[in-house]
Amino acid sequence: MTAAHRGDEVTIDRISLRVTGMDPLEAKALARAVAQRLAPALALAPGEASIPRLHVEVAARRGERPDELAARAVARLAPLINRASAAEAGR
């Protein structure tokens, strides 16, 4: 993943989610919810940060909606991306 921050713009070139136990429509809703929530949750350092891979497992709770699962996934992902961005900016 490459994350770039210039002014008020955040660009993330690729995020892959491996989703099990959801039908395709639910998985698509989850992916969309993660994408919509992730950018506002980031506090990136200026410039680009290349993050080859992050691995986060977030298991769905019984009856949990995709937007609720997305919120928990973003809560786990955003701090990792922010730390990687800050570390890269410090180089």
Banded pLDDT at 68 (limits 50, 70, 90): very high
Banded pLDDT at 15 (limits 50, 70, 90): confident
- Is the sign of the CA dihedral 91, 47, 50, 33 positive or negative? positive
Q: What is the pLDDT of residues 17-36, one digit of tens each?
A: 888 888 888 888 898 899 88
Report the Cα 67 to chain-centroid distance in Å: 13
| Greater pLDDT, 49 or 29 | 29
* Residue ranges per structural domain of the chain: 2-89
| Greater pLDDT, 7 or 17 | 17
DSSP letters of 9-73? EEEE--------SS-HHHHHHHHHHHHHHHHHH--PPSEEEE--------PPPTT--HHHHHHHH
| Greater pLDDT, 76 or 12 | 76
Give 21-37 as a 3 state SS string: CCCHHHHHHHHHHHHHH
> How large a percentage of the chain has pLDDT more than 90?
16
Q: What's the pLDDT score for residue 26? A: 86
